[in-house]
Structure 1
Amino acid sequence: MKISMHLAAFAVTAVSAAALLAGQGRAEEVVADPSAKVEYSGTVSVLTKFGLQQLSPYFVGVAAEYEKLHPGVKVELIQESDDSVKGKTKTLVASNSLPDVYFTWTGSWGANFVRGHRAADLSKVIGPDTEWGKTLVPAAVQAFQYNGKYYGIPLYLDVKFMGYNKAIFAKSGVAAPKSFEELLTACDTLRKGGVTPISLGNKEAWPAVHFAGQLLAYNVPRATLEADFEPKTAKYDDPGYVASLQQFKALIDRCTDGAAVNGTSYSSAFQQFSNAQSAMYYQEIIEFDQAATADSALKREDFGFFVLPVPEGAKGDPKAIEGAPEGYMISAASKNMPLAIDFMKFVTSKENGQVLSSPPYGQPSATVGGSSKEKMSPQVVEGLAALESASYLMPWLDTANSARVASAWLASLQALAGGTMTPEQVMDTVKEASAADAK
């Protein structure tokens, strides 16, 4: 009963959040005018997801440079972290005070703003055939398309890899695994040697979703996955779902601290890896340059990575990698939309893209030519090469699905990691949530 009540509360919270983001928006859609004159005066407000100490200087620097070019303009930054930006966004929406420019994920999260007419239609300024659109990676622009229109400005490309400490691997006599089964065996060897194989913090619930998403891409055909993302066509009857969750549970039990991961934050787990206190950490490419720095215990030359290995007999896509571009939208209520758009054109320039892609930020730019191999760390360059060879980008489960279904995945995977739900029970919960949304 406690589990059911917890899941129900989680679902209500997520659905309420979706209603909040979408509700009470403008009555009609606002379309950005490409011919509108830019008045270089006043303030442009920006909500970023660069609130962490390592990342915050990027937007501060870009804003200062823009203000220097246009002395009559003031850029007002609201800098939040990966987690706090969600709550901040909901608060701003509730008070109808979204800034001119605000961070968004793709998928259902971005769709909420579109549905509530809170995001300006940018098709005429950033569509693939526009001057600005042609300066950006086509797939990244496409990711922000809803109902045949374009609403988002992709800033960087993100994808998930397993980071590992080469020195710890060598000391334990372990090689980078070629299959999921080899990964589990490597974890057993590392643990026997007194090493935490994989540091995982799942207090926030989304880190577990990333493991599950990659395994689902391997075990469930793409067409089935994408049909199941939509509640009206979802069935969730492919056996690859349960197989993926069984593999995930095996990884929790053999490679991590088990149920204790639900009491550990993702930042603590990341720090454990950076401090060379664990052998592996499942991380995004945008975290590479923060994991191994000049001051960290994990030395840059000892940082390696590999794609989470494919399980034997998997029926999905073995070349799929989990990831998605992330970016920004322009508020439909912006009082100075031409200036907001001009600022974002500046942010996504080739020059600023190269700064973003290079240490200490390491966020692979979505701008064509915004990634300079000479300036970027070797690991990020290698990660981008792996990304380019991927056949499919598996979206994050908590942004690809509707709010209710995303909530079901988050809460039930946390319960699975904690040992209070089985793979079959997880899928029953997801099916129920999807069926409720289909009505």
Structure 2
Amino acid sequence: MKKAASLLMSAMLIGGIMAGCSSGNGSGETASTTANSGQKTTQKVSITLWTLDTGWEWIQNAVDDFKKENPNIDVQVSKYSVDPIKENLKLAANSKTLPDMWFTWGGTLGSFYPENGLTLDLSQIAKDHKYAEVYNKAALDMSTYGGKLSGIPIHLNVLGMWYPKSVYDKAKLTPPTKFADFEAQLQTLKGSGVTPLSFGSKGGWHTMRLTEALLEHFAGPELHDKLSNLTASWNDPAVVKTFEKLKEYTDKGYFPKGYVSLDPQEADSVFYQQKAGLINEGTWFDRNINSNGFDANQFGVFKFPSEQKPVRPSVFAEMFQINGSSEKAKQDAAVKLGEYLTSVNVVNKYIENYGSPATLNTKLSEKTPHLKEMLDSANEGAFLIMDQALPQQVIQKVFEAQDHIALGEWTPQQAAQEIDKAASDYKSKKK
């Protein structure tokens, strides 16, 4: 079930976000303490967990702590980068070798598993363990499909445009509030000898963040939401204009050379070294900067500028899903682990590296100076990130269109037509 963000959802989202940002000591009972207050596990059980690698340096220590508290549960952790975990999960799903618990995203990325009967339905557990009092409502909503909760929320993320302060100071620039000023800054940055937009299009999703921001600007919130819901035609002037801009920025050399095949981590690396002007990253980026040996305070962030009202950033949730085919003892252990890893105490202990928690009443770290600012940037509304809002066959066509535009193989009009055809094909098969 898709979760395209409406203004009403956004209002609920921000209410929850701000609750999640409140300063607290975690003295209230968490999901994990509720779970642990019941019957003790006496059976020896071993479970497998797949997570991301970058930004998840804390996970092994947290798992080790969990194992000390639960000596009858062994946990084997495997880490993957973004695209490999997507690929390996799909392969494991097809071969019926999924781990007992895995990290995934909300929206249509996470929906594949419950839609194919592969995840444990957590709805009753959520009621029994009072998840509504533990997790942000929007994060729970984004982890729910067909009325069933399919995951334990981990993160709720907001995206923005990041810049090195030294690059902006040298070029005498300040964060733009109008789209025309943003475009003028791209030219200024190019003239100053830095790459204006540090994006790597390998995998598609990095450049997609700019594509969706442009689409939000040219389409406006109402049409953008309809496009995400597939209730409006993608063969629309706003879509054509979006890809015209993508082509223009490519032709003007605003992206790194060969960015179509550039790994996003390579693009990030250029940015960390302050050799690029702008990059579209999220609430996790402070800790990424710090973990790569740089100081997050040397960078700034702003909302993608537009004259549209409201000016909305994109958002998305991340969660742990549990294998619906695992033995019950393994499922119980995985639930206990998921609740533990998202408990207030664990989040607070690792908050400097944890990211933007979906857990309520956690503290923030001085080492993530932009986190609250980014969460506040969604106060007027937000939209669900494109690769979670759109069906996967449609977003893959968007990725294809981005590459064809960059390589000069499609016109912007062709891009709009091809995406619209993919959307029509998807809808016809769903009837």
Task: Indicate whether 1:437 and 2:426 are aligned.
Answer: yes
CA–CA distance in structure 2, aligned partners of residues 374 and 412 of structure 1:
40
CA–CA distance in structure 2, aligned partners of residues 326 and 355 of structure 1:
19
Higher relative contact order (CA 8 A, sep 6+): 2
1:262 aligns with one of 260, 263, 266: 260
Identity between Structure 1 and Structure 2 (%): 22
Q: Which letter does structure 1 place at the counterpart of 2:281?
A: Q
Task: Please give the secondary structure, in 2, of the residue aligned with 1:220.
Answer: helix
Report how far residue 420 of structure 1 moved. Answer: 2.3
Q: Which letter does structure 2 place at the counterpart of 1:300?
A: A
Residue by residue over 1:83-119, the C-alpha shift from the partner in whole angstroms, topping out at 9 and shown as x without a partner, is 1101111221122111111122112222211111101
Report how far residue 38 of structure 1 moved. Answer: 5.5
Task: Please give the secondary structure, in 1, of the residue aligned with 2:370.
Answer: helix
Q: Which letter does structure 2 place at the counterpart of 1:309?
A: P
The runs of 5 or more residues in structure 2 that have no matched partner are 1-34
Task: Please give the secondary structure, in 1, of the residue aligned with 2:258.
Answer: helix
Aligned twin of 2:313: 321
Q: Which letter does structure 2 place at the counterpart of 1:425?
A: Q
Q: Which letter does structure 2 place at the counterpart of 1:140?
A: A
Given that 2:351 and 2:365 are in contact with CA atoms closer than 8 Å, whether structure 1 keeps it comes out as no
Aligned twin of 1:43: 46
Given that 2:50 and 2:103 are in contact with CA atoms closer than 8 Å, whether structure 1 keeps it comes out as yes
Given that 1:201 and 1:268 are in contact with CA atoms closer than 8 Å, whether structure 2 keeps it comes out as yes
Report how far residue 259 of structure 1 moved. Answer: 6.4
> Structure 1 106/56 Cα, relative in aligned 2: closer, same or farther at 3 Å?
closer
CA–CA distance in structure 2, aligned partners of residues 37 and 438 of structure 1:
47
Given that 1:356 and 1:362 are in contact with CA atoms closer than 8 Å, whether structure 2 keeps it comes out as yes
Report how far residue 170 of structure 1 moved. Answer: 0.9
Given that 2:158 and 2:313 are in contact with CA atoms closer than 8 Å, whether structure 1 keeps it comes out as yes
Task: Indicate whether 1:343 and 2:334 are aligned.
Answer: no
Q: Which letter does structure 2 place at the counterpart of 1:326?
A: E
Aligned twin of 1:391: 381
Report how far residue 375 of structure 1 moved. Answer: 4.7
Q: Which letter does structure 2 place at the counterpart of 1:344?
A: G
> Structure 1 221/199 Cα, relative in aligned 2: closer, same or farther at 3 Å?
closer
Aligned twin of 1:158: 157
Given that 2:200 and 2:262 are in contact with CA atoms closer than 8 Å, whether structure 1 keeps it comes out as yes
The CA RMSD measured in Å over matched residues stands at 2.4
CA–CA distance in structure 1, aligned partners of residues 281 and 229 of structure 2:
27
1:305 aligns with one of 291, 297, 301: 301
CA–CA distance in structure 1, aligned partners of residues 252 and 176 of structure 2:
15
Given that 2:47 and 2:73 are in contact with CA atoms closer than 8 Å, whether structure 1 keeps it comes out as yes
> Structure 1 422/375 Cα, relative in aligned 2: closer, same or farther at 3 Å?
same
Superposition map of 1:228-377 within 5 A: 228-231=227-230, 233-254=231-252, 256-257=254-255, 260-292=258-290, 295-296=293-294, 299-310=295-306, 312=307, 314=308, 317-335=309-327, 336-358=330-352, 361=353, 363-370=355-362, 372-377=363-368
Report how far residue 36 of structure 1 moved. Answer: 8.9
CA–CA distance in structure 1, aligned partners of residues 411 and 168 of structure 2:
32
CA–CA distance in structure 2, aligned partners of residues 255 and 286 of structure 1:
28
Residue by residue over 1:120-164, the C-alpha shift from the partner in whole angstroms, topping out at 9 and shown as x without a partner, is 11111225x851331101111111121122112110111211110
Q: Which moved more, 1:190-199 or 1:62-71?
A: 190-199
* TM-score relative to the length of structure 2: 0.84
Task: Please give the secondary structure, in 2, of the residue aligned with 1:320.
Answer: coil
Task: Please give the secondary structure, in 1, of the residue aligned with 2:376.
Answer: helix
Report how far residue 185 of structure 1 moved. Answer: 0.8
Q: Which letter does structure 2 place at the counterpart of 1:321?
A: P
Given that 1:259 and 1:418 are in contact with CA atoms closer than 8 Å, whether structure 2 keeps it comes out as no
Q: Which moved more, 1:258-267 or 1:233-242?
A: 233-242
Given that 2:186 and 2:196 are in contact with CA atoms closer than 8 Å, whether structure 1 keeps it comes out as yes
Task: Please give the secondary structure, in 2, of the residue aligned with 1:57.
Answer: coil
Superposition map of 1:57-76 within 5 A: 57-76=57-76
Aligned twin of 2:396: 407
Task: Please give the secondary structure, in 1, of the residue aligned with 2:50.
Answer: strand
> Structure 1 109/36 Cα, relative in aligned 2: closer, same or farther at 3 Å?
farther
Report how far residue 378 of structure 1 moved. Answer: 1.5
CA–CA distance in structure 2, aligned partners of residues 342 and 385 of structure 1:
32
Aligned positions, number: 390
Q: Which letter does structure 2 place at the counterpart of 1:161?
A: G
> Structure 1 197/133 Cα, relative in aligned 2: closer, same or farther at 3 Å?
same
Given that 2:41 and 2:72 are in contact with CA atoms closer than 8 Å, whether structure 1 keeps it comes out as no
